[in-house]
Structure 1
Amino acid sequence: MTDPTWLAAQRRALVRFAANSVDPAGGFGWLDAAGERVPDKPVATWITARMTHVFALEDGLGDPDAAALVDHGVAALRGRLHDDEHGGWFSSVADTTKAAYEHSFVLLAACSAHAAGRPHAPELLAEALDVIETRFWDAEIGLPFESWDKAWTTTEAYRGANSTMHFVEAFLAAGDVTGDKIWHERALGLSERIIHVTAAAHGWRVPEHFSEDWRTDLNYNRDDQRHPFRPFGATIGHWLEWARLLLHVEAALGDKAPSWLLSDARALFDSSVRRGWGVDGHLGFIYTVDWDDLPVVRERMHWVMAEAIMAASALHRRTDEDPYADWYATFWEYARKNHIDPIGGWRHELAPNGSPSAGVWAGKPDTYHAYQATLFPLLPLAPAAALTSRQPFQSR
């Protein structure tokens, strides 16, 4: 497995790069390829929450500058990104939509900031849990709503696996930080519905898009195949991310974990490699495939490689099987050669031949996936990183 000292150096470099995203008005902004904040991009809740989470983890690892960055993020989530009238969080300072995706990351950030002991994090966490419980959790079917208008009067006639997946991540953290295991149980329920039932029925391809009654919509966005959050078809990187999350769910549940969590994680990883790795004649994972496994968007995304690294690491640690270690080494070799940029950060998107491109994602707005790829192979699968990053381990 990759040298922990090298991983730690990469992690610290990513944090230094991400610190450039501080917006003096509050929150964290979009970085361009050179690491400069793009002033005409509105501050977004998902970026601000992800960066707050990253800096909170880094605070646990002893970075003396991280606490101030966490506080900066918490202030924005309690300030300019928060709806003081109706509650909840806007998608950005320019968009009053209230979306599950953004709220999942507010909860994750609140958990990490609370574990870091930062001021006002308990209040942020309490409100995030309440808003998700009262606005996003559909208790009748045990799945989340996707989005609402500003006043919580109209919900979108769409349901998404992407936001559901990130609720799994956030619910695991919430269960660990608060001690309320209902969040672990809900993470299991979401995983069962999206993966054990739906993905299994589609040959270990994960459908991303659903109607409001949770019927799969396999043709969704056929005319907008490069949508950054809702692309047409199946997104290979999410299969890898789900594989990892299933192992976190298993570890969180302990003796109560069903056996299918491991077997489904294996199946998703195998499906990802078989249908996504180098299938167009070039190394790397293609971004999306159609339902006949034909490539749709062939660009290579940094976050997909980061999730591949973490999935392979998690499966190797869970099973001690050599093929997963081999894949882990292969994925890091690709990342070092193609994604890690000597000027800082990871190149977010690559053409199939490995050259930088920007057909879906421009710049380097997100350090969350790459940062976790440098840290999670050194942490146990449970409890959440919000807690384990604050415990001693090798080569901080």
Structure 2
Amino acid sequence: MNENQLLLPGSQSEAGFWIETSRHRDWLMNEAKRQLTFFSASCRDEPGFHTLGHDGSPLPGKLQELHTTTRLIHSYALGHLSGFKGAERIIDHGMTFLESHHRDRDHGGYLWALDGDQIKDDRKLAYGHVFVLLASASAKLAGHPDADKLMTDVRSVLEKHFWDEEAGLFRDEWNRDWTPFSTYRGMNANMHGVEAMLAAFEATGDEIYLFRAGRILDFFIGKIAPSENWRLPEHYSSDWQINRDYAGDPMFRPSGTTPGHSFELGRLQLQHWDLSGRTDPNALDRARRLIAQALNDAWLPGGGLAYTLDFDGRVANASRFWWPITEAIGAVAALIALDRRPEDEEWYRKLWTYANETFVDHQHGGWFPAVDGAGAVVTSIFDGKPDIYHSLQACLFPLSGRLSRMIPLEKPEYSDKPQTPFS
């Protein structure tokens, strides 16, 4: 047996569902620990985090965006909850940087980007602020002593500046002093708002989070998706009409639809249904339609998922990035947990096999951000290995055996004392 065979996430000959086998579950946990070990090198000796190259060495520059800080807090909180020793150091480092650098002492809220100690981008974005809420909820679940203070602060900012009670959705962006920046409205910030509010509900039990997450889901999956053949347009006007002519940043606000976001929203719909007592008779069917449409539209010849689609489902940008695969894995794993069907297992094995053969870096750890049609690593818009958040969740969510977040029956004790990384 060669090395690659030893590293396969499961055996294609095994009957049943991979997530029920010890071989696959052991593989998932080992891969999660390899990622947590690799990204532990992100922590600077000074405030902030490094971006890591493919080999794990720090890249030059000190630019740090809000979603990077908060996703590292969230990811290592999940690592702490799964027993990874040393996660506390990353959580503490991120929480300190949020307070010392991202938090705007003059106007309130959180600044989007810092370059060392200098403000690089002072916009106030809903996308960034909902990730602050996610970080605070995850840190609270991990037992961090400053989590409640952070959650109280970001909740008040979201309430005052971003939440549109009439629409039941988040507004997107402001200048630093909270003067209007644009009338843009988007799905992405709202989707991650659902993610953050479900986490906040689990951390606090406050049902306002569950209720508001449901309102966002009702708009996008209950209203928009059925009228768009189960595809989700990304961009909207200030009165929440689809803006089909929007042409923003082609990589970070691409036109058309983004199937990776359909996977995320589908999984979040299932999570919300689970946390709400599974009372909505239509939630499971809506989530399945959304996930299935994205898989069928976006799966490319030779493997991989297209980055974007036209409104009718034709491939617009065939770039193969790592994160849509991870979100598809999480979505299909959620379906298997609730409504297992043979076709779900077929997709689950296909997705993991492709990810393992192309994106997982078996030499250094972490995942490569982009590959070509032949599965070879390519240079992309992403520097180095930019993110642990997506790929870590792809490993941990199937292991949890539930649709809510990975919360063990007995939480590991939180300590701010230095610990040895996983051994």
Q: Fold match, TM over 0.5?
A: yes
**C-alpha offsets along residues 140-186 of structure 1, whole Å, 9 cap, x if unaligned?**
21111101111112242101101110000000011111111111111
Equivalent pairs counted in the alignment come to: 386
**Counterpart AA for 1:357:** V
Structure 1 runs (4+) greater than 6 angstroms displaced: none
CA distance in 1, matches of 2:330, 2:240: 29
**C-alpha offsets along residues 240-259 of structure 1, whole Å, 9 cap, x if unaligned?**
1111111001001014x322
The answer to whether residue 276 in structure 2 is matched with residue 253 in structure 1 is yes
Unaligned runs of 5+ in 2: 1-17, 115-119, 413-422
Which residue among 127, 131, 154 is the counterpart of 1:128?
154
Which residue among 344, 351, 360 is the counterpart of 2:381?
360
The two structures, once aligned, show a CA RMSD in angstroms of 1.8
Change in Cα spacing, 1:232 to 1:32, as seen in structure 2 (3 Å) is farther
* 2:10 paired residue number: none
TM-score if structure 2 supplies the norm length? 0.87
Q: Trace 1:115-194 onto structure 2 (pairs within 5 A).
A: 115-194=141-220
The alignment partner of 2:315 has SS state of: coil
CA distance in 1, matches of 2:46, 2:113: 13
CA distance in 1, matches of 2:152, 2:403: 22
Does structure 2 retain, via aligned residues, the 8 Å contact 1:50–1:105?
Answer: yes
**C-alpha offsets along residues 168-220 of structure 1, whole Å, 9 cap, x if unaligned?**
00000111111111111111110110121012111111110111111111222
% same residue: 35
**Counterpart AA for 2:200:** A
CA distance in 2, matches of 1:44, 1:322: 41
Does structure 2 retain, via aligned residues, the 8 Å contact 1:379–1:389?
Answer: no
Does structure 1 retain, via aligned residues, the 8 Å contact 2:168–2:216?
Answer: yes
CA distance in 2, matches of 1:340, 1:366: 13
Unaligned runs of 5+ in 1: none
Does structure 1 retain, via aligned residues, the 8 Å contact 2:82–2:408?
Answer: no
Change in Cα spacing, 1:331 to 1:58, as seen in structure 2 (3 Å) is same
CA distance in 1, matches of 2:85, 2:282: 42
Which residue among 224, 242, 253 is the counterpart of 1:216?
242
Which residue among 399, 410, 420 is the counterpart of 1:378?
399
* 1:15 paired residue number: 36
**Counterpart AA for 2:100:** G
**Counterpart AA for 2:307:** Y
**C-alpha offsets along residues 354-394 of structure 1, whole Å, 9 cap, x if unaligned?**
11223333321111010001100011444433x348659xx
Whose Rg is larger? 2
CA distance in 1, matches of 2:88, 2:400: 21
Cα distance, 1:119 vs. partner? 2.4
* 1:292 paired residue number: 312
**C-alpha offsets along residues 205-240 of structure 1, whole Å, 9 cap, x if unaligned?**
111011111111122227x53x2x211211111111
CA distance in 2, matches of 1:30, 1:102: 18
**C-alpha offsets along residues 5-27 of structure 1, whole Å, 9 cap, x if unaligned?**
11111000000111121133323
* 1:340 paired residue number: 360
* 2:15 paired residue number: none
The alignment partner of 1:77 has SS state of: helix
TM-score if structure 1 supplies the norm length? 0.93
* 2:288 paired residue number: 266
* 2:131 paired residue number: 105
* 1:306 paired residue number: 326
CA distance in 2, matches of 1:332, 1:66: 26
* 2:9 paired residue number: none
The alignment partner of 1:79 has SS state of: helix
* 1:321 paired residue number: 341
Cα distance, 1:101 vs. partner? 0.8
**C-alpha offsets along residues 39-83 of structure 1, whole Å, 9 cap, x if unaligned?**
325111101100111111111222221112111111111111110
